[in-house]
Structure 1
Amino acid sequence: MQCPYAFLWLAICAVLTHAGRCNDHARQSLRITFHDAIGRSSALWASGSAGYVYLCGGADGSLIKFSDLELTDPANKGLHDIINSLKHIADHYDVSYGDIIQFAGAVGFSNCPGATRLEFFAGRPEATAPAPPKLIPGPTDTAQATLSRMQDAGFSAEDTVILLGAHSVGREHTIDPAANDTPLDSTPGAFDSQFYLEVLLKGTVYPRKAPHSGEALSATKDVFRLSSDAAIARHPDTACHDDRMRSAFRKAMIKVATLGHRMEDLVDCSHVIPVPPPWNKTASYPAGFSTSSVERSVSLSSCPGITLPAKASEDTLTGLQYFC
Structure 2
Amino acid sequence: MLSAALVSLALVSGAFARAIKPRAVCADGTTVSNAACCAFIPVRDDLINDIFEGTCGENAHSTVRIAFHDAIGWSDFSDKGGGADGSMIAFGDIELAFEANAGIDEIVEDLQPFALAHGISFGDVIQFGSSVALSLCPGAPLVQTFVGRANATEPAVDGTVPDPFNPVDMILARMLDAGFQPEEVIALLASHTIAAQDEIEPAIERSPFDSTPALFDNQVFLEVLLQGTAFPGNGSHEGEVESPLPGEFRLQSDRDLARDPRTACTWQSFALDHDTMAQKFSAAMTKLSLLGQFQDQLVDCTEIIPQAPPSSRSQAFFPAGKTFDDLELTACDNAFPTTLLTQEGTTTSVARVPPQ
Q: Which TM class, normalised by the smaller chain length? A: 0.7 to 0.9
The two structures have a TM-score, normalised by structure 2, of 0.78
| 1:193 aligned to which of 212, 218, 225 | 218
Aligned residues: 294
2:85·2:150 contact (CA, 8 Å) conserved in 1? Answer: yes
1:283·1:304 contact (CA, 8 Å) conserved in 2? Answer: no
State the Cα deviation string for residues 161-194 of structure 1 (Å, max 9, x = none): 0111100011121111222222101111101111
| 2:331 aligned to which of 293, 298, 320 | 298
1: CA distance, partners of 2:236 / 2:327: 22
3-state SS of 1:29 partner:
helix
Q: Which amino acid aligns with 1:245?
A: M
1: CA distance, partners of 2:309 / 2:236: 36
- Verify: 1:7 aligned to 2:32, yes or no: no
2: CA distance, partners of 1:193 / 1:127: 34
Partner of 2:306: 274
Q: Which amino acid aligns with 2:245?
A: T
When residues 136 and 258 of structure 1 are mapped into structure 2, their CA distance, relative to the original with a 3 A threshold, is: same
1:7-156 equivalences in 2 (<5 Å): 7-18=42-53, 20-43=54-77, 45=78, 54=79, 56-156=81-181
3-state SS of 1:275 partner:
coil
When residues 39 and 88 of structure 1 are mapped into structure 2, their CA distance, relative to the original with a 3 A threshold, is: same
2: CA distance, partners of 1:90 / 1:70: 18
When residues 301 and 293 of structure 1 are mapped into structure 2, their CA distance, relative to the original with a 3 A threshold, is: farther
When residues 55 and 183 of structure 1 are mapped into structure 2, their CA distance, relative to the original with a 3 A threshold, is: closer
3-state SS of 2:237 partner:
coil
1: CA distance, partners of 2:167 / 2:190: 18
Partner of 2:279: 247
2: CA distance, partners of 1:6 / 1:252: 24
3-state SS of 2:197 partner:
coil
Question: Offset of 1:140 from its aligned partner?
Answer: 0.4
2:228·2:244 contact (CA, 8 Å) conserved in 1? Answer: yes
1:182·1:222 contact (CA, 8 Å) conserved in 2? Answer: yes
1: CA distance, partners of 2:84 / 2:250: 28
Partner of 1:258: 290
Partner of 2:3: none
Q: What runs of 5+ residues in structure 2 fail to find an aligned partner?
A: 1-33, 266-271, 341-356
Question: Offset of 1:300 from its aligned partner?
Answer: 7.7
Partner of 1:218: 243
When residues 66 and 219 of structure 1 are mapped into structure 2, their CA distance, relative to the original with a 3 A threshold, is: same
3-state SS of 1:132 partner:
coil
Q: Which amino acid aligns with 1:113?
A: P
When residues 7 and 156 of structure 1 are mapped into structure 2, their CA distance, relative to the original with a 3 A threshold, is: same
Tell me which structure has the larger Cα radius of gyration. Answer: 2
1:36·1:58 contact (CA, 8 Å) conserved in 2? Answer: yes
Question: Offset of 1:96 from its aligned partner?
Answer: 0.9
| 1:162 aligned to which of 187, 190, 207 | 187
Question: Offset of 1:17 from its aligned partner?
Answer: 2.1
When residues 5 and 62 of structure 1 are mapped into structure 2, their CA distance, relative to the original with a 3 A threshold, is: same
The two structures have a TM-score, normalised by structure 1, of 0.86
Q: Which amino acid aligns with 1:260?
A: G
State the Cα deviation string for residues 14-73 of structure 1 (Å, max 9, x = none): 33322x321000000100000000001234x1xxxxxxxx16421001000000000010
State the Cα deviation string for residues 191-249 of structure 1 (Å, max 9, x = none): 1111001101110267xxx9736852212223110001001111101122011111111
Partner of 1:316: none
When residues 214 and 69 of structure 1 are mapped into structure 2, their CA distance, relative to the original with a 3 A threshold, is: farther
Q: Which amino acid aligns with 1:5?
A: F
2: CA distance, partners of 1:264 / 1:21: 33
The structure 1 segments of at least 4 consecutive aligned residues displaced by more than 3 Å after TM superposition are: 210-215, 300-304
Q: Please tell me the root mean square deviation across aligned C-alpha atoms, in Å.
A: 2.0
1:175·1:215 contact (CA, 8 Å) conserved in 2? Answer: no
2: CA distance, partners of 1:167 / 1:98: 22
3-state SS of 1:225 partner:
coil
